[in-house]
Structure 1
Amino acid sequence: MSDDETQIRTLITRWADAVHRGDLDAVLADHAEDLVLYYVPPPHAGFRGLAAYRAVWPPFFAWQAHGARFDIDTLDVTAGHDVAYAHALLRCGTPGELAATPGLRLRLTFGLRKEHGRWLIAHEHHSFPHD
């Protein structure tokens, strides 16, 4: 595994831990100002910019506070010199939801770019499969 891949794996793991803790400042860290997010609920055109990304999280944190999990199951990273992508599967749901559908995973895709020697998340896509 290259040093860039290790850095990105660490960045995404820190991000997921911050989401699980409900730490908004840590969730926003390492994101580009011009971030684009495609998210599970509408709007289907996505969210653009860090301010819009910030607004997505409080309702999720409120839901998660009722005992939901947000745990990385698998994470794969491919890094070039200044761009990279990663994809992950996460256990995301309440204990009841996960017990009813134990194989259900949240799918995440990240697009990253290196700016001034630092990796930033420039794109996220979150989705659940349709039955």
Structure 2
Amino acid sequence: MTTDSARTSETATDARRTDEEQIRAVLADRAAATKARDARRFLSHTTPDLVEFSLAPPLQYKGPQARDPRALEAWYATWQGPVEVTPTQLEITVGGDVAFCHSINRMRGTKTDGFEVELWSRATVGLRRIDGVWKITHAHDSVPFLMDGSGRAALDLKP
């Protein structure tokens, strides 16, 4: 015999699992959009009031500036072929209509000058469920820097 509280707990667990699957799908599609170098598809998962702390300057992008595909298209144009971004160690926390996740991301590809890139970065993403769809409201990517006074990014780190 199943109690009402057990049934409620099962329902909440199922809902959380569904939310996590939907968020994983959003992040996977963004990675696929980057690989395809499709800026509009990448940005389709964001809200109009997006706040983003990207690896590239400036310190932050907000709203229309963060959602302007031209900057992303210009960055894609600096690569030959696909740009692979693979999230690892992804953790998702969902609470009602808000969620956040963090991961260690591997980026690989070849720049137009032939330089081969492989770097690991840290990512945190905040989401809101709007009209039943998970949308990214906040994104933050970073790399550690060397604390030796040089201020250089530590691009050779691996998990």
Alpha carbon RMSD of aligned pairs, Å? 2.0
Q: Is the 8 A contact 2:34 2:84 kept in 1?
A: no
Query: Given the two structures, how large is their TM-score scaled by the length of structure 1?
Result: 0.83
Displacement of 1:70:
2.0
Moved over 4 A (4+): none
Q: Is the 8 A contact 1:32 1:50 kept in 2?
A: no
1:85 and 1:21 mapped to 2: Cα distance? 25
Give deviations 1:29-73, integer Å, cap 9, x for gaps: 1210000000112211x0011443324312321223366532223
**Gapped runs of 5+ residues in structure 1?**
99-103
**Gapped runs of 5+ residues in structure 2?**
1-15, 111-115, 146-153, 155-159
Percent identity between the two aligned chains: 30
Q: Who wins on radius of gyration, i.e. which is larger?
A: 2
Quickly say closer, same or farther: Cα 1:82–1:68, change in 2 above 3 A.
closer
1:19 and 1:7 mapped to 2: Cα distance? 19
2:98 and 2:83 mapped to 1: Cα distance? 32
Map of 2:101 onto structure 1: 86
Q: Is the 8 A contact 2:48 2:67 kept in 1?
A: no
What is the aligned counterpart of 1:53 among 50, 67, 72?
67
Secondary structure class of the residue paired with 1:65: strand
Residue 21, structure 1, aligned to residue 36, structure 2:
yes
Query: Given the two structures, how large is their TM-score scaled by the length of structure 2?
Result: 0.69
More contact order relative to length (CA 8 Å, sep ≥ 6): 1
